[in-house]
A and B are shown apart, each in its own frame.
Chain A
């Protein structure tokens, strides 16, 4: 009996603790939306990860089933799927998984722009978690409800408060799936470029190039996007394209790395004078150890380069 009373006390405390931060406001900008065309895959046992992933991949135009995805994400010993593996499996489908800022504003902006959002929820409590993936497909600010594809429910309606509570307990983790050339509305430049660079690292260069190009369209004033685009073009053997991108980066912000890379590619295009000019700009600018050592190598190569090369403009 005493034990039962103690359990009740714990439960009461837990209830207080989880109800306290519930005053979360409905973001003002949300308009009534429902992405009714979003596909639905009723989950089988434990398979909400593959089902939710198939749902958002389907919405991005790919037809893939949860059964096909399960071997890529399901962990039998954990009876579930890890967030990082959902991100990785998305890349295997030639799509980019963009993890959103942990804010309701970002989530509902994505839904409003047509992206169903894959969310992690904790349907239990912090000390007894029940992790679950679902896909937010709609919102109704008047009724204060959120609509999800969830488990075996094609259309699960949760009160905003309930949803926010479960999402909050999962650190508000959410991702959208997009083609690499479509930057999500809520995307932050550095997060997008980092997500895109995973393609580069994993040998999917053309997809990384698409994502970097998209970044330079979305944030044309950002030098880093042009630098990365230059690098991926360089790696693909497109030296003239790389030069154009490096020039753009250097024009936006004089930077030792941009000028160094520009000098290197000018040199390889046979343009010694342009290379020397870019290198001169680079050495006048502050450089970290990695950039400084690249600069040394570039100037050594410049010194050793044959003088009679023909410059390709």
Chain B
């Protein structure tokens, strides 16, 4: 039940997207576009667009589950290119998130402290 709803939602977005994206194209149909020049060998446009919208939805959900509010998540997604969205959809969890040593606690902290003392790392400036 839930699945069919989300599928409907996705299809709705897809058709809306095709309507919006598809309209201005005929005016410049004869031009070989920049994306094609940079990245030849494209598969069918429609399948890519479907994947794109799924990636977009996926990244939006991930951002929100990581504590970004809905409005900001939408803005952040709008700032990403198709390729970037695909990359994030593929493995956001595996990508490094530059943060801080303050977040490191417990046994992890102890291990890092030992590594620091034996000279492997250099996190704790004061030591």
B30 in contact with A123 (CB, 8 Å): no
B118 in contact with A131 (CB, 8 Å): no
A264 touches which of B30, B66, B80 (Cβ 8 Å): B30
Q: Which chain B positions have C-beta within 8 A of A125?
A: 115, 120-121
Interface contacts beyond A151-B100, A234-B31, A261-B30: sample of 15 additional A-B pairs, CB < 8 Å, sorted by A: A45-B102, A48-B100, A75-B67, A80-B98, A88-B76, A121-B98, A123-B121, A125-B120, A131-B97, A156-B125, A162-B122, A193-B38, A227-B34, A231-B34, A288-B41
B32 in contact with A130 (CB, 8 Å): no
Bound together, the chains give a CA A7 to CA B120 distance in angstroms of: 15
B37 in contact with A228 (CB, 8 Å): yes
- Please tell me the size bucket of the interface on B: 35 or more
| Nearest CB of chain A from residue B60's CB, rounded to whole Å | 13
Known: A72-B76, A201-B35, A294-B31. A124 touches B121 (CB 8 A): yes
Q: Which chain A positions have C-beta within 8 A of B81?
A: 198, 201-202
* B1 within 8 A of partner (CB): no
* A224 within 8 A of partner (CB): yes
* A33 within 8 A of partner (CB): no
Q: Which chain B positions have C-beta within 8 A of A92?
A: 79
Q: Which chain B positions have C-beta within 8 A of A162?
A: 122
| Closest Cβ neighbor of A294 among chain B residues | B32
Bound together, the chains give a CA A94 to CA B102 distance in angstroms of: 32
Bound together, the chains give a CA A277 to CA B38 distance in angstroms of: 26
Q: Which chain B positions have C-beta within 8 A of A121?
A: 98
* A170 within 8 A of partner (CB): yes
Smallest CB-CB A-B distances: 6 pairs:
A80-B99, A80-B97, A77-B66, A76-B67, A78-B97, A264-B30
B34 touches which of A77, A129, A153, A232 (Cβ 8 Å): A232
Interface of A is mostly: helix
**Which residues of A from 98 to 134 have beta carbons under 8 Å from B?**
120-125, 128-133
* A217 within 8 A of partner (CB): no
* B72 within 8 A of partner (CB): yes
Q: Which chain A positions have C-beta within 8 A of B76?
A: 72, 85, 88
Q: Which chain B positions have C-beta within 8 A of A88?
A: 76, 79-80, 84
* B123 within 8 A of partner (CB): yes
* A197 within 8 A of partner (CB): yes
| Nearest CB of chain A from residue B42's CB, rounded to whole Å | 7
Q: Which chain A positions have C-beta within 8 A of B127?
A: none
B68 in contact with A294 (CB, 8 Å): no
A76 in contact with B99 (CB, 8 Å): no
| Nearest CB of chain A from residue B32's CB, rounded to whole Å | 4
A123 touches which of B31, B87, B101 (Cβ 8 Å): B101
**Which residues of A from 225 to 267 have beta carbons under 8 Å from B?**
227-228, 231-232, 234-235, 257, 260-261, 263-265, 267
* B96 within 8 A of partner (CB): yes
| Nearest CB of chain B from residue A207's CB, rounded to whole Å | 13
